[in-house]
Amino acid sequence: MNNQSIAERYLNGTEFWSISDQINLFKDGESIPFDQVKTVYLDAIRKDLDADPVASVILDSMFPEDPIMQLRQFLICNYSNMDDQPDITSDGKTHREFVNCSKRGSCPHEGKLCLNYIPALYGNLSKREIEVIKLTADGYEDKQIAALLNIDYSTIESHMKNIRQKTGCPNKPSIVAFAFRKNIIW
């Protein structure tokens, strides 16, 4: 487990986070409300949004002629999870993240407007692998997870192997620690 303070974790970058629809930026040990965030940080997110034509079309249909609301929603869907990497590094690069949204599974734009996977060290974790990680963190054994997800036990074994390979985590405790760092679990 990484014992860094929040301020140390984001020393070389910034991190957006939200509660409900309230967006804040964490920078230099300070939490800054969205309406006080410097343009340079919003411009980095806007550049990422502009490079995503699918998200741009969806947001334009949700908030026609309102670029601020479009940017806010894009931030909520892609940057509002406090994970173990800054959203904007000191050199201006953006890092989208998997956001544990209450609308997961029911949002018509899931996977189009937001990430439907979690970037890991050696590959992206799929939705199903994320489900398996959550159930593992809840203390379920592999056979129980297979029953809960209505899939074959050998498929769970395959998912666990893929999770270990993609995350670089050799065992379940380290997978749970990874999930905690990525804010998949709390």
Listed residues 49, 70, 89: the one ending a domain: 89
Listed residues 89, 108, 134: the one ending a domain: 89
Residue 43 in any domain: the answer is: yes
- Hey, what are 166's tokens? 């993609």
Domain extent, residue 20, equals 6-89
- Which SS3 state, helix, strand or coil, does residue 16 take? strand
pLDDT by residue for the chain (186 residues), tens only, comes to 445 555 565 566 788 989 878 999 988 888 899 999 999 999 999 999 999 999 999 999 999 999 999 999 999 999 998 887 889 988 889 999 888 787 877 889 988 898 877 888 899 998 899 999 999 999 999 999 999 999 999 999 999 999 999 999 999 999 999 998 888 887
Residue 51 in any domain: the answer is: yes
Q: Give the per-residue pLDDT at 12.
A: 63
Angle of helix 153-167 relative to helix 127-137, nearest 10 degrees? 100
Q: Give the per-residue pLDDT at 6.
A: 55
User: Cα separation of 126 and 94, whole Å?
Assistant: 21
Positive or negative, the Cα torsion across 115, 102, 21, 68? Answer: positive
Angle of helix 172-181 relative to helix 127-137, nearest 10 degrees? 110
- Hey, what are 129's tokens? 């692998």
In angstroms, the Cα distances linking 53 to 47, 86, 90, 97 are: 11, 24, 26, 18
75 and 36 fall within a common domain: yes
85 and 122 fall within a common domain: no
174 and 123 fall within a common domain: yes
Residue 145 in any domain: the answer is: yes
User: Cα separation of 31 and 1, whole Å?
Assistant: 24
10 and 84 fall within a common domain: yes
- By CB neighbour count within 10 A (0-12 exposed, 13-18 middle, 19+ buried), where does 172 fall? middle
Would you say how long the chain is, in residues?
186
| Total tally of structural domains belonging to the chain | 2
pTM of the shown model = 0.75
**CB crowding 69-83: b at 16 or more within 10 Å, else e:** ebbbbbbbbbbbbbb
